[in-house]
Amino acid sequence: MIAKQLVEKAMKKAHGAQASLSLSESVDVSYESDRLKSAESSQRTDMSIRVIVDGKVGFSHTTDINDVDGVVSRALELAEFGSPAHYQFPSPKDGTDVNVYDRAILGITKDEMVTMGEEMIALVKEYKPEILLYAGASKSSRKGEFANSNGVEYADESTIFSASVYGEWIRGTDILSAGHGLGWRKRGIDHIEIARKAIELFKMAEKIARIKSGDMPVIFTPEGMYTLLLSLEMGFNGKNVYLGSSPLAGKLGEKIADEKLTIIDNPLIDYAPNSSKYDAEGVPHQITPLIEKGVAKNFLYDLDTAGRAGATTTGHGTGCGPTNIVIETGDTSYEGMLKNTKNGLLVHNVMGLGQGNPISGEFSVNVQLGYRIQNGEIIGRVKDVMLAGNTYDAIKDIVAIGDKAEWVGGSLLTPHIQIGRLSVVAQ
């Protein structure tokens, strides 16, 4: 086991060490402007080691599997200039088994992936031949090793498969971009259903609807929920909490949202893209409630940040970021949300979300794909519209949560959510 060899070499001079090795193979097929652009196979090796020497951390990484001595020596040398170690490497502890490998993915041929792309494009073209399309499918498999100086040692395997189709519909000066895609660690992705969802987005946008500026109800589609989640992910990040930049610092146990809202970080969902038995530091993964019936429950920590903050790692190393975010369903159908909205906005995606100061919760973004709701029905797509508000105010003003959840982006499982009022500005 190469990871164990790295640790053994490092421990001749280090006081602690952890090492990992990742060997991956992938096949990617992509279409651009309706035509096959590439069908490529690739391999990648990643080998890294982290050491603690005299209370300081050194880290080194390489893509050369034969550079065992070099990667170890560089980590030891860099430890002299490294940051203080506020933690010890974990001892062995059993994790919860989770399925992340599907042999059926390995059997998907490049020709089959080419055909999937062709079929998705053909289906959208059947709806509107003038839509310019981009599509693709990809598969990858990974074998990994991990070891540390406290006796943690394991090997794992994982797979992932994804398919997507996106298009541009140009009508004069109007350019409409829409599409759909999904990644999963199991073969069961229906590329035809992906194309049908893309078509539905285009159909709802066939007409352009004017909307007046003002505060109004806003329904976020599952994909549109990223508008609110960026700030929440940053707010629950233990490093931001420790540094004092998170608005949620000191608010565990307090009500921060409507009681209808429950958000869980769950890395133990079979075949979800961010699922695994252990995190990148050899800590067993666990289910971590973030918001439970409106109450802030936990922050996310890795070893280093937990050590600095006097907390315990939650298995979110490295970086304190989330794995699979799950928003629990409510009791209102999507159709019911629409029916109960006299004048409002349905938001599917936005532009400029990461600009400004998202950690504060404030957002002011262009609506890339949104639809006007009038008298309980979607009457068309809005153009040149901005959406503004504060995430932490919005989650206190939840009118309804959908009764069905969908996976978007592979790592978010969420229903539609309706906010009572947000500022909509028509330019």
Using one digit for the tens of pLDDT, what is the confidence trace for 337-357?
Answer: 999 999 999 999 999 888 778
Judgement on whether residues 421 and 329 belong to the same structural domain of the protein: yes
Q: Please, which pLDDT band fits residue 427 given cuts at 50, 70 and 90? A: confident
Q: What does the pLDDT look like over 278-305, one tens digit per residue?
A: 999 999 999 999 999 999 999 999 999 9
Residue 88: give its domain's CATH number: 3.30.2290.10
Q: What is the residue-wise DSSP string for 274-330?
A: T--SB-TTSPBP--EEEEETTEE---B--HHHHHHHT----S-TTTS--SSEEEPP-
Judgement on whether residues 161 and 240 belong to the same structural domain of the protein: no
Is the pLDDT at 410 greater than 80, yes or no? no
φ, ψ of residue 118 in degrees (nearest 5):
-60, -40
Judgement on whether residues 6 and 128 belong to the same structural domain of the protein: yes
Of residues 66 and 410, more confidently modeled: 66
Judgement on whether residues 195 and 246 belong to the same structural domain of the protein: no
Is the pLDDT at 8 greater than 80, yes or no? yes
The total number of structural domains in the chain stands at 2
Judgement on whether residues 171 and 261 belong to the same structural domain of the protein: no
Q: What does the pLDDT look like over 360-398, one tens digit per residue?
A: 999 999 999 999 999 999 999 999 999 999 999 999 999
Judgement on whether residues 172 and 311 belong to the same structural domain of the protein: no
Judgement on whether residues 308 and 388 belong to the same structural domain of the protein: yes
Q: What average pLDDT does the segment 181-192 reach?
A: 96
Judgement on whether residues 76 and 212 belong to the same structural domain of the protein: no
Judgement on whether residues 416 and 355 belong to the same structural domain of the protein: yes
Is the pLDDT at 409 greater than 90, yes or no? no
Judgement on whether residues 82 and 18 belong to the same structural domain of the protein: yes
Q: What does the pLDDT look like over 84-124, one tens digit per residue?
A: 999 999 999 999 999 999 999 999 999 999 999 999 999 99
**Domain carrying residue 366:** 208-427
Q: What does the pLDDT look like over 210-247, one tens digit per residue?
A: 999 999 999 999 999 999 999 999 999 999 999 999 99
Judgement on whether residues 181 and 301 belong to the same structural domain of the protein: no
Q: Final residue of a domain: which of 147, 169, 204? A: 204
User: pLDDT value at position 49?
Assistant: 98
User: pLDDT value at position 354?
Assistant: 80
Rounded to whole angstroms, how far apart are CA atoms 58 and 418?
47
pTM of the model: 0.96
Is the pLDDT at 9 greater than 90, yes or no? yes
User: pLDDT value at position 357?
Assistant: 86
Q: Final residue of a domain: which of 149, 183, 204? A: 204
Judgement on whether residues 167 and 225 belong to the same structural domain of the protein: no
Q: Final residue of a domain: which of 204, 238, 268? A: 204
Q: Which long-range contacts (CB under 8 A, 24 or more apart) does 78-84 make?
A: 79/14, 79/51, 79/52, 79/53, 79/54, 80/53, 80/56, 81/56, 82/53, 82/56, 82/57, 82/58, 83/56, 83/57, 84/55, 84/56, 84/57
